[in-house]
DNA sequence: GCGTTCAATGTACCT
DNA sequence: ACAGGTACATTGAACGCG
């Protein structure tokens, strides 16, 4: 019979020496199904030396000690665009591929072996053009032989599934969960600390909480949770930091209690798989922590901040319980309910965020070709790479091995010096997807690069300015094809967005989706220059950057010829006088001459630059401030300094009153000294980028991390450390305390005056002749001065 | 011995 | 574990100075 299904997950398995691919899906009638396909591609390539007769090699392989080889054939392939002859070696058993390839590399006449490093499930997807999160049709027979398989129907494929055009997503069952562990002091450790609460919620509206009330052991909590998961039978299980953290914790606790953490559809426990994600057979394990990275605006990437940013659950409307306080809340019967509420709220955050990002994750998975549970954990470079592998397979380009390449830097984008001070009516023009379009226009690609030792191709070459790299004009490289496709998809999404209100949730999702596509599109340039890339070709990236510099320089010259004053520019943008007619003419001229689209990205009623590049603030036409690079948008400045700088910018840009700005700063300083500034506005956050012992110089956040560690809190690379500066003597790093261990009385308020508020304010006001001394000096009688409320009104 | 200078270190940002 | 370009704070050794 013919089955139409949407591919949720897949895995490779070998049952009784029979290798098979298991396709977990949802049928068009809504059944959860498993399709077993025993017909899977299984081969690798041995590329033959130029002076070797490939047929000779065929014989040697046939006569060699390779019992699993089913077939060998000579094929024509390409490697970095150059034709090569290879022997394609088919193996009955996929698991021998790596070993056989290793053997064959030692054979005389074999230059190298390829594609022995492609995982079997990915091989299956690529060769059969099967897409995760996509619909397919398959001829299959139903079987009943399903030990331990939890599906509505089980099928054996009679043929290879075929992709069908159908864009909608089936109704998926989603279960979110979050946990609370009990630890008297320090980070909870599974070998000693129990789980006290597991909160779940589903997209069918059910909420459940399993807790260790009345001295119930966490064994029962886990049992109830496992039963509940199996009963609800979700397609997707979602959590926050579940990969490498919570799943492992639950699993350890299960082991401790003699339980099996069977929450999948195949009676197996969670396993750690590629890109260190946790895999659940037949279900998608989704970790929202992988998606928070897409949101640059979120500085401290907690679940609470993620939900707050998306508007799922505002922080001001809830009680946040810090890790350090959890045990206290649990111990106190009166506060325990608050802890439970906190836990349930976290799960609600998870469900809300899922609603906002799942559609995006599904699209990304489908676009890149990585299964939904891998695509989030895969770094940008790997997402690009899988997308490329799908495309190159179709054009006979062999997938290069990943090899260690020496790092050699090259020149990047050009940044213009800003004209400091205030400017009125400035347009910021952007080249649209500049690097990708340059790569398309000049056919920059790993398979079109012509090295200096090579002869001139028949169709001629593009020669790069400054660096002089050469690229064949014909035929088109695979970057050109890939980038053209990505740009097309993005423009379709943007067209859809135009029909929506910018405040609608759908708009926000589409916006982050198109941003992500943009990131991936732009990442193709970065990918080309990444030493870890399979198709690492430095000249491709270097050429794109050189064309980019050439482009922006030309644009500036053309603008100046139009007598448009350019006040700033960075890589692919120029900021200039917004003379409508002249700007429109310039856009057209640039299009004609440079063959690249440039368009106004933003128009500033007024914009402010310091002497520094990459830092400015502008007043947009709708009255909003657009602040770039300055302390306001940095995560490593105290909230109070950021607030002050933002208000100063607002006063300067909107009212142009230096006096009012000065008075405002002085007023905040007074309020701070009277301890009227909330403690949370004094916390400074910095990332621990390596292990504490590995730092060469003493640093504040490292000291804070060490103090937490001494109290039993595990500190790992990538953690954001929140600290305050406390009173005392000596170096700054000697006056640091983690914010959870300090109190307001310890805080050195003068540090916040002289090293936070004043520098942040002076950054702006020094342009107007106001010095740090002036900001600090002048202590008028409080009775004569305005209060903060006078400046901005009361809420 | 103590303040000043300056390269190095470290982090976060921009496109 | 996508690139290079940039700003800025702090550290700590070198330097200057009786």
Inform me whether the pLDDT recorded for A794 exceeds 70. Answer: no
Q: Give the CA-to-C1' distance from A342 to C7 in angstroms.
A: 40
Q: Give the CA-to-C1' distance from A503 to C8 in angstroms.
A: 36
Q: What is the mean pLDDT of residues A98-113?
A: 95
What is the per-residue pLDDT for A168? 80
List all nucleotides in chain C with at least one atom under 7 A from a protein Cβ.
1-12
Inform me whether the pLDDT recorded for A221 exceeds 90. Answer: yes
Q: Which residue is nearest to nucleotide C9 (CA to C1')?
A: A755
pLDDT digits (tens, 9 = 90+) for A363-412: 899 989 999 999 999 999 999 999 999 999 999 999 999 999 999 999 99
Q: How far apart are CA A301 and CA A296, in angstroms?
A: 10
Q: Give the CA-to-C1' distance from A31 to C6 in angstroms.
A: 55
Q: Which of A356-360, A579-583, A673-677, A732-736 has the lowest average pLDDT?
A: A356-360
Whose C1' is closest to the CA of A611: which nucleotide? C7
> Within 13 Å of residue A449, how many CA atoms lie on the same side as its CB?
22
Inform me whether the pLDDT recorded for A265 exceeds 90. Answer: yes
* pLDDT-derived band at A784, boundaries 50, 70, 90: very low
Q: Could you please report the per-residue DSSP string of A727-753? A: S-SS-GGGGEEETTT--GGGB-HHHHI
* pLDDT-derived band at A514, boundaries 50, 70, 90: confident
Q: What is the mean pLDDT of residues A50-64?
A: 91
Output the CA–CA distances (angstroms, integers) from residue A643 to A630, A667, A668, in the order listed: 12, 13, 10
Q: From A618, A554, A550, A556, select the one nearest A416 (Cα to Cα).
A: A556
What is the pTM (predicted TM-score) of this model? 0.93
Q: Which residue is nearest to nucleotide C10 (CA to C1')?
A: A699
Q: What is the mean pLDDT of residues A245-258?
A: 96
Inform me whether the pLDDT recorded for A518 exceeds 90. Answer: no
Q: How far apart are CA A740 and CA A283, in angstroms?
A: 38
What is the per-residue pLDDT for A490? 85
Q: Give the CA-to-C1' distance from A778 to C13 in angstroms.
A: 38
* pLDDT-derived band at A83, boundaries 50, 70, 90: very high
Q: What is the mean pLDDT of residues A328-336?
A: 95
User: Which distant-in-sequence residues (6+ apart) come within 8 Å of A491 by Cβ?
Assistant: none
DSSP 8-state code for residue A297:
T
A430 forms bridges with which residues in the sheet?
A573, A599
Q: Give the CA-to-C1' distance from A638 to C10 in angstroms.
A: 16
Q: Which residues touch strand B (CB under 7 A)?
A: A 296, 299, 413, 430, 570-573, 614-615, 628-629, 633-636, 685-690, 695-697, 699, 701-702, 720
Helix (H, G, I), strand (E, B) or coil at A105: coil
Inform me whether the pLDDT recorded for A78 exceeds 70. Answer: yes
Whose C1' is closest to the CA of A613: which nucleotide? C6
pLDDT digits (tens, 9 = 90+) for A551-562: 999 999 999 999
Whose C1' is closest to the CA of A527: which nucleotide? C2
Q: Which residues touch strand C (CB under 7 A)?
A: A 275, 379-382, 407, 409-413, 415, 519, 522-523, 525-527, 529-532, 541, 545, 571, 610-615, 629, 697-700, 731-733, 755, 759, 763
Whose C1' is closest to the CA of A414: which nucleotide? C5
Inform me whether the pLDDT recorded for A113 exceeds 70. Answer: yes
Q: How far apart are CA A603 and CA A593, in angstroms?
A: 24
Q: What is the mean pLDDT of residues A125-137?
A: 96
Whose C1' is closest to the CA of A636: which nucleotide? B12
What residue spans of A620-714 are helical by DSSP H?
Answer: 639-650, 658-673, 700-710
Q: How far apart are CA A217 and CA A223, in angstroms?
A: 10
What is the per-residue pLDDT for A523? 87
Inform me whether the pLDDT recorded for A783 exceeds 60. Answer: no
Mean pLDDT, chain A, as a whole number?
Answer: 93
What is the per-residue pLDDT for A790? 52
Which tokens in the block code for residue A558?
Answer: 């053309």
Q: Give the CA-to-C1' distance from A696 to C11 in angstroms.
A: 10
Which tokens in the block code for residue A680?
Answer: 């949370």
Q: What is the mean pLDDT of residues A718-725?
A: 96
* pLDDT-derived band at A508, boundaries 50, 70, 90: low
What is the per-residue pLDDT for A611? 95
Q: What is the mean pLDDT of residues A444-468?
A: 96
Q: From A619, A344, A318, A357, select the one nearest A506 (Cα to Cα).
A: A357
Q: Give the CA-to-C1' distance from A91 to C4 in angstroms.
A: 44
Whose C1' is closest to the CA of A763: which nucleotide? C8
Q: Which of A492-506, A544-558, A670-684 has the lowest average pLDDT?
A: A492-506
Q: Which residue is nearest to nucleotide C4 (CA to C1')?
A: A412
pLDDT digits (tens, 9 = 90+) for A277-304: 999 999 999 999 999 998 999 999 999 9
> Within 13 Å of residue A728, how many CA atoms lie on the same side as its CB?
13
How big is chain A by its Cα radius of gyration, in Å?
30
């Amino acid at each position: 019979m013919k089955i139409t299904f949407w591919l949720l997950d897949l895995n490779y398995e070998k049952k009784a020496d029979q290798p098979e691919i298991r396709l977990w899906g949802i049928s068009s009638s809504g059944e959860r199904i498993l399709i077993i396909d025993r017909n899977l591609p299984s081969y690798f390539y041995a590329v033959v030396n130029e002076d070797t007769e490939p047929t000779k090699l065929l014989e040697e392989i046939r006569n060699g000690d390779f019992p699993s080889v089913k077939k060998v054939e000579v094929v024509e392939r390409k490697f970095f665009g150059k034709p090569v002859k290879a022997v394609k070696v088919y193996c009955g058993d996929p698991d021998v591929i790596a070993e056989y390839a290793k053997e064959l590399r030692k054979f005389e006449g074999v230059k190298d072996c390829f594609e022995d490093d492609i995982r079997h499930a990915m091989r299956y997807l690529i060769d059969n053009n099967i897409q995760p999160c996509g619909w397919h049709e398959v001829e299959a027979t139903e079987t009943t032989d399903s030990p331990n398989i939890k599906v509505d129907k089980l099928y054996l494929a009679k043929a290879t599934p075929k992709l069908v055009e159908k864009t909608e997503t089936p109704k998926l069952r989603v279960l979110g969960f979050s946990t609370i562990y009990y630890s008297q002091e320090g980070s909870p450790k599974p070998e000693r600390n129990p789980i006290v609460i597991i909160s779940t919620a589903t997209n069918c509206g059910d909420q459940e909480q399993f807790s260790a009330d009345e001295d119930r052991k966490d064994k029962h909590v886990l049992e109830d949770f496992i039963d509940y998961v199996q009963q609800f039978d979700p397609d997707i299980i979602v959590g926050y930091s579940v990969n490498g953290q919570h799943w492992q914790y639950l699993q350890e606790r299960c082991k401790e209690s003699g339980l099996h953490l069977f929450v999948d559809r195949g009676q197996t426990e969670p396993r750690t798989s590629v890109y260190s994600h946790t895999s659940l057979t037949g279900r998608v394990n989704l970790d929202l922590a992988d998606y928070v990275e897409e949101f640059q605006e979120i500085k401290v990437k907690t679940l609470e901040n993620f939900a707050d940013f998306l508007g799922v659950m505002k922080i001001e409307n809830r009680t946040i319980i810090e890790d350090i306080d959890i045990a206290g809340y649990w111990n106190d019967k009166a506060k325990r309910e608050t802890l439970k509420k906190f836990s349930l709220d976290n799960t609600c955050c998870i469900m809300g965020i899922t609603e906002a990002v799942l559609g995006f994750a599904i699209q990304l998975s489908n676009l890149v070709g990585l299964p939904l549970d891998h695509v989030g954990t895969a770094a940008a470079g790997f997402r690009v790479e899988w997308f490329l592998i799908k495309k190159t397979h179709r054009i006979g380009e062999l997938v290069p091995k990943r090899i260690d390449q020496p790092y050699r830097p090259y020149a990047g984008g050009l940044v213009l010096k800003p004209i400091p001070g205030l400017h009125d009516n400035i347009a910021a023009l952007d080249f649209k997807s500049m690097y990708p379009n340059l790569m398309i226009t000049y056919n920059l690609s790993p398979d079109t690069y012509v090295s200096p030792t090579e002869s001139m191709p028949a169709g001629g070459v593009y020669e790069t300015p400054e660096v002089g790299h050469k690229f064949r004009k014909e035929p088109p490289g695979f970057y050109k094809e890939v980038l053209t496709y990505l740009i097309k998809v993005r423009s379709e999404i943007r067209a859809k967005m135009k029909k929506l209100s910018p405040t609608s949730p759908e708009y926000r999702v589409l916006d982050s989706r198109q941003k992500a596509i943009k990131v991936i599109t732009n990442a193709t340039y970065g990918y080309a220059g990444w030493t870890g890339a399979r198709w690492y070709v430095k000249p491709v990236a270097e050429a794109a950057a050189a064309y980019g510099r050439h482009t922006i320089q030309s644009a500036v010259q053309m603008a100046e010829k139009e007598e448009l004053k350019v006040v700033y520019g960075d890589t692919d943008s120029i900021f200039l006088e917004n003379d409508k007619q002249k700007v429109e003419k310039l856009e057209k001229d640039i299009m004609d001459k440079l063959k690249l689209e440039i368009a106004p990205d933003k128009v500033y009623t007024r914009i402010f630059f310091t002497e520094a590049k990459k830092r400015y603030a502008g007043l947009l036409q709708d009255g909003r401030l657009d602040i770039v690079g300055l302390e306001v948008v940095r995560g490593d400045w105290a909230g109070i300094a950021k607030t002050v700088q933002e208000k100063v910018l607002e006063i300067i840009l909107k009212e142009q009153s230096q006096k009012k700005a000065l008075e405002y700063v002085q007023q905040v300083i007074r309020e701070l000294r009277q301890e009227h500034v909330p403690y949370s506005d004094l916390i400074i956050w910095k990332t621990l980028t390596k292990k504490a012992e590995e730092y060469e110089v003493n640093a504040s956040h490292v000291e804070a991390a060490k103090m937490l560690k001494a109290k039993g809190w595990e500190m790992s690379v990538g953690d954001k450390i929140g600290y305050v500066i406390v009173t005392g003597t000596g170096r700054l790093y000697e006056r640091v305390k983690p914010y959870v261990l300090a109190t307001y009385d310890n805080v050195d308020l003068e540090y916040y005056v002289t090293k936070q508020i004043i520098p942040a304010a002076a950054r702006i006001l020094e342009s107007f002749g106001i010095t740090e001394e002036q900001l600090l000096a002048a202590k008028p009688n409080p009775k004569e001065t305005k209060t903060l409320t006078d400046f901005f009104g009361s809420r």
